[in-house]
Structure 1
Amino acid sequence: MIDAQASGLPRIESAFQPVLSLAHGAAVGYEALLRATHDEASCSPEQAFAVARRSGRYGEYERACTRHHVRRFVRFAGDESVLFVNLHPDVLVDPVHGPALVDDLLASGVMPGRVVIEILEARQETPSALIGAVERLRSHGFLIALDDFGAGLTNLGRVWDLRPDVVKLDRELICKAVSSYRNARSLLRLVDLLHDIGTFIVVEGIETEDQARLSVDCDADFVQGYYFGRPTIEVEAAAALTGIPTAGLDAQLMDARKLRRVGDLDELAPYRRAFGMFRDAWCAGVPVNEAARHFLACEWALRVFVLDDTGKQVGENIEASRHDDRRRATFPLLARSTGANWSKRAYFRDALVRPGETIVSEPYMSSSSKNLCVTLSAHVNVAGRGFVLGADLLFEGLCHTLA
């Protein structure tokens, strides 16, 4: 490779931060981060690249940074370590610097499978050009990562288009998720969705133990942040950042369960008891509105209802007297419940295959009132006919009682 520094532009230095595998308790690789100086003063990466862009030398500077990062990486990295390199989409699609960047990397002596091209969050005027550039990189064996998912332009459509090997979640997601059980569950679902697409997940920006615990519970593959290791320009120090600190993810942390399943929540116990009373009374012939009075008296209870064994609703919902503001249907037709078919709802299907048990659904949006609900359900047999009894409670309210 040619000399890594770019004459007349901010001076380049490389810092490295470990990307750690939760399953292995060790660094899967390192992200290279620019530490630049200009006019004998330190400057941020944004400032450094702004200087290069004003000079019309952005692509040249990006390549110089990449060459420098690779040279430093090979001085300390083990045979199993991979290098995460940040690159702007404009450089990847540039007709001159894009191919030249690939040539630089191929000439470095580092196997392409040990280099992760981390595509920065930035608007790309010709998405097809970026897709083509990514395909060319992949054809050489380089791995692809998307940075800052959940912020700005890095969305699900981009994941489908570019099919990255790794998606790095924006740090704001973990910051917001750790303060809210509902947000935490949404983060878990997001990780599940991205795993279904076929990508590894990195949770970035972890600074606290609570954020580390939540990353474990969400089944993230990798973690990165100050809690585990700060970026360092000293290659010896970077090499030492190979394991997860004992104070970080020890056995106690790995056993943590911030995201308990809804059905396992202790806070659900009074609703379970009241639902059992409703079920027993209704099966004994008590009218539904009277049978449900104990359940409907619970703080976050919304309604009860009865379905036949095909999933069609028998009669209207019996609503709790409180939470009037939660009962207004978005579309008038949805306020009509008799005859509606709920056979595709998980609470109905699960009740059919586990007759006699009280089923607790995961939270879902109720179409009748657009609330996040949890439904308790049970399949019962009365006079030779099968029914599924259902009882909704307001998940958003229940969330407020959770630690």
Structure 2
Amino acid sequence: MSEAYSYLLPSVNSAFQPIVSLAHLTPLGYEALLRSSINGRPCSPIEAFRRAALVDRTGEFERECVRCHTAQFARRADHESVLFINVQPEVLIHPVHGPGLIADILSCGIPCARLAIEVLETPLPRSQTLVDVANQLRQHGLLIALDDFGAGETNLSRVWDLRPDVVKLDRELIRQAATSHRKARSLRRLVGLLHEIGTLVAIEGVETETEALLCLDCDADFAQGYYFGRPAPLPENGELIVTGTEHLLEDFHSAERIKPIADLVALQPYREAFRDVTHAFCMGESFADIAPRFLALPLSIRMFLLDQHGAQIDRQVESTDHPMRKQSRFPMLGRRKDANWSKRPYFRDAMSHPGETVVSEPYVTSGSMNLCLTLAACVESGGVRYVLCGDVLFEELGSH
């Protein structure tokens, strides 16, 4: 760091927080976190980097932090743990400090395969330069992690661009998911989506056993947070104490899980009513006559009939007086003709499993803007195949 400006900047020290493999319930590595002070008084990382920016020394200060983290880790860590290092994208793409930072990392004495460069969340727009730097890091054998996914500017475009080895989900996601079955389901689907893209998933900010169990239920790969261990200096033996893991798997096996939609107890009366009206339709009763029987249930909102190509037949039958029914913001979606729902997963699933009742994942219906799920069944009547469908208000299902 420049001697002329070093006295203006906070001091630099390191703390390390374990990142736990949920399959092994032991640390796979540690995130290095800045611990700094000014004139002997603690200074937050945000304040430290703010001061560095005021004297136009962000790049130098970032490099000093990385040198401190890697030096302490190299001296004390075991020979398997991975070090996660936070780096601001603006420094990575800087024409001077970017190459300098990479050189510092490559010369730190830690094998590249045990170093994960954690790209921090930033409002920096999509940048080919950042993609090029990430590719360069990867060519050296370094791992790439993307921090704070789900907060601020971080989005799927950055995942696709950087192709990270690990995506770390913002702590607010697990906190919110622990309060709501609906949000927990959404978190599990997000983890599944990221897995499908081709990245491992870490959940940050885990502070309670409930949140830790939810990480397991969502099939996250790694977890990090106060529940497992607070940031601390790395001891001489290189192993920080990890808490909360002793009975976690045992508690998980006995805990209430995120149930598949089709298994929700509150949905069973709707499945039974749908099965009854489906049977009546197959026996020759008209769609107009059977639909009101399903709509008599409190959260049934509509029924509609599709042909074997997904085209809607005639008008849908709706519970128009339903107090929770929202109105579509798009008038043309109120049309009762010309709609084709072959793109919907429930139609494809029903066609693939004739005679069975399939249950969709929750989704917002375009016709009413309600969060619904659809029951569907591919059946025959008069020698013709149809797909019979019924919508249920999912957003209120849990309270009934």
Query: TM (normalized to structure 2)?
Result: 0.92
- What secondary structure is seen at the aligned counterpart in 2 of 1:326? coil
Aligned mates of 1:64, 1:139 — CA distance in 2: 24
Aligned residue number for residue 363 of structure 2: 364
User: Mapping of 1:113-124 within 5 angstroms?
Assistant: 113-124=113-124
Q: How far is the alpha carbon of 1:399 from its aligned partner?
A: 3.8
Aligned residue number for residue 3 of structure 2: none
User: Mapping of 1:194-209 within 5 angstroms?
Assistant: 194-209=194-209
Amino acid at match of 1:84: F
Aligned mates of 1:198, 1:216 — CA distance in 2: 19
Aligned mates of 2:105, 2:66 — CA distance in 1: 8
- What secondary structure is seen at the aligned counterpart in 1 of 2:396? helix
Aligned mates of 1:337, 1:393 — CA distance in 2: 19
Checking the alignment, whether the CA contact within 8 Å between 1:20 and 1:244 is kept in structure 2 is no
- What secondary structure is seen at the aligned counterpart in 2 of 1:32? strand
**Superposed CA offset, 1:51-77 (max 9, x none):** 222233222221111111112112332
Amino acid at match of 1:173: L
| 5+ residue gaps, structure 2 | 1-5
- What secondary structure is seen at the aligned counterpart in 2 of 1:269? helix
Q: Does 1:303 align with 2:310?
A: no
Q: Does 1:274 align with 2:286?
A: no
Aligned mates of 1:207, 1:27 — CA distance in 2: 16
Q: How far is the alpha carbon of 1:304 from its aligned partner?
A: 1.2
Amino acid at match of 2:277: F
**Superposed CA offset, 1:65-98 (max 9, x none):** 1111112112332222100011112221222222
Q: How far is the alpha carbon of 1:15 from its aligned partner?
A: 0.6
Aligned mates of 1:306, 1:338 — CA distance in 2: 11
Aligned mates of 1:334, 1:47 — CA distance in 2: 51
User: Mapping of 1:33-52 within 5 angstroms?
Assistant: 33-52=33-52
Checking the alignment, whether the CA contact within 8 Å between 1:347 and 1:360 is kept in structure 2 is yes
Aligned residue number for residue 263 of structure 1: 262
| 5+ residue gaps, structure 1 | 1-5
Q: How far is the alpha carbon of 1:227 from its aligned partner?
A: 0.8
Checking the alignment, whether the CA contact within 8 Å between 2:91 and 2:98 is kept in structure 1 is yes
Aligned mates of 2:121, 2:326 — CA distance in 1: 41
Q: How far is the alpha carbon of 1:20 from its aligned partner?
A: 0.8
Greater shift, 169-178 or 277-286, is seen at 277-286
Identity across matched positions, percent:
50
Aligned residue number for residue 106 of structure 2: 106
Change (3 A) 1:43 1:265: same
Aligned residue number for residue 396 of structure 1: 395
Checking the alignment, whether the CA contact within 8 Å between 2:229 and 2:242 is kept in structure 1 is no
Aligned residue number for residue 212 of structure 2: 212
Q: CA RMSD in A?
A: 2.5
Checking the alignment, whether the CA contact within 8 Å between 1:216 and 1:254 is kept in structure 2 is no
- What secondary structure is seen at the aligned counterpart in 1 of 2:395? helix
Amino acid at match of 1:53: A
Aligned mates of 2:18, 2:334 — CA distance in 1: 53
Q: Does 1:79 align with 2:79?
A: yes
**Superposed CA offset, 1:280-326 (max 9, x none):** 22233333333233321111100112222222222211112432662
Checking the alignment, whether the CA contact within 8 Å between 2:35 and 2:44 is kept in structure 1 is yes
Change (3 A) 1:72 1:255: farther
Q: Does 1:312 align with 2:311?
A: yes
- What secondary structure is seen at the aligned counterpart in 2 of 1:160? helix
Aligned mates of 1:361, 1:125 — CA distance in 2: 36
Q: How far is the alpha carbon of 1:234 from its aligned partner?
A: 4.4
Aligned residue number for residue 131 of structure 1: 131
Checking the alignment, whether the CA contact within 8 Å between 1:16 and 1:232 is kept in structure 2 is yes
- What secondary structure is seen at the aligned counterpart in 2 of 1:330? coil
- What secondary structure is seen at the aligned counterpart in 1 of 2:239? helix
Q: Does 1:377 align with 2:376?
A: yes
- What secondary structure is seen at the aligned counterpart in 2 of 1:396? coil
Query: TM (normalized to structure 1)?
Result: 0.91
**Superposed CA offset, 1:186-217 (max 9, x none):** 22222222222211111100111221122112
Change (3 A) 1:265 1:139: same
